[in-house]
Amino acid sequence: MDHRWWLTRAAVLCGVYGLVCGIACVRHRSLLYPAPPRETPSRDAVLEWVQGNDGEGETFALCAFAQRPDARTIVHFHGNGEQVASLEQFARSAHERGLGYCAIEYPGYGMLSQRAPSETSIYRAAESTLRQLEQRGVRRSQMVLTGQSLGTGVATEMATRGWGSRLVLLSPYTSIVDVAQRLVVVLPAALIIRDRFDTRSKAPSVRVPVLIVHGAEDTLIPVEMGRGLSRLFPRARFVELAGRGHNDLFADRARPVWPMIIEFAQDRSS
């Protein structure tokens, strides 16, 4: 067969591949941040809206402040398919147990759906809200940072900036690039994705106690990532949940997870 036919075919394939890579590069944030339809959280005697501005746009958090001024406060960074309105039951539960709780919203999600999401904008909104909590009397030493899935990268970044005395990571990833490369093997994820959330490189610098919980049957973020991170954080405890996947850590059959977090948050040992 004429070699020119092969050259033409190779050129077409290369062109198609380049086009796909280009589209992925332009649209990767819309794929990375698939926010659910906006919901408005409750506001009552227990739940309070904490609203502010980080210099580039509005910020928002749903909080239940503890009654005791010395109580710990769980500061939570949610997963990709969630928003703070999905977390009211955890805020009420923590409050009932004498803890504070604050779920921080991301740009592009929930009450901040008008803002554009990115790694930088999420970090900016998160730290701005943490400063508001500090101004409300919640000291850094009282904050227990928790993150689930996407939120584990946010929580880890805030810990590297000196926020929180403890860190909980639920279904954590080594980096978003690593996760994307697993899902789309043929594309060069490291060249396409700009929002990296590189937890692996940050883990050794986090000196606070860390609790990592990961489902053994997680097909989105494999348990090997959580296990590997537990060896990089200097003070990490790793819990692997048999039979659990990515989205059922808090299902009825996984009730021990929430009490585990409460116990870890209340622990005053160094």
In Å, what is the CA distance from 70 to each residue of 9, 50, 253, 266? 69, 20, 33, 11
How many C-beta neighbours within 10 Å does residue 16 have? Answer: 10
Percentage of residues in the chain having pLDDT higher than 90: 73
Residue 192 has pLDDT above 80, yes or no: no
Q: Comparing 12-26, 73-87, 95-109, 151-165, which segment has the lowest mean pLDDT?
A: 12-26
User: Phi, psi at residue 102, to the nearest 5°?
Assistant: -145, 120
Structure tokens at 177: 């690039």
Q: Comparing 133-142, 210-219, 243-252, which segment has the lowest mean pLDDT?
A: 243-252
Q: Comparing 29-38, 82-91, 147-156, 220-229, which segment has the lowest mean pLDDT?
A: 29-38
More confident residue, 6 or 128: 128
226-243 pLDDT, tens digit each: 999 999 999 999 999 999
For the chain, domain boundaries:
33-266
Q: Comparing 24-38, 72-86, 138-152, 238-252, which segment has the lowest mean pLDDT?
A: 24-38
> Which fold would CATH assign to domain 33-266?
Rossmann fold (3.40.50)
88-96 vs 257-266: helix crossing angle, rounded to 10: 50
Residue 166 has pLDDT above 50, yes or no: yes
- The C-alpha atoms of residue 21 and residue 24 are separated, in whole angstroms, by 5
Q: Average pLDDT, stretch 208-234?
A: 97
Q: Band of the pLDDT at 21, cuts 50, 70, 90?
A: very low
- The C-alpha atoms of residue 263 and residue 108 are separated, in whole angstroms, by 32
Residue 268 has pLDDT above 90, yes or no: no
Q: Band of the pLDDT at 103, cuts 50, 70, 90?
A: very high
Mean pLDDT of the chain: 87
Q: Band of the pLDDT at 9, cuts 50, 70, 90?
A: very low
Kindly state the helix (H) or strand (E) to which residue 52 belongs, with its residue range: strand 48-53
Q: Average pLDDT, stretch 150-154?
A: 98
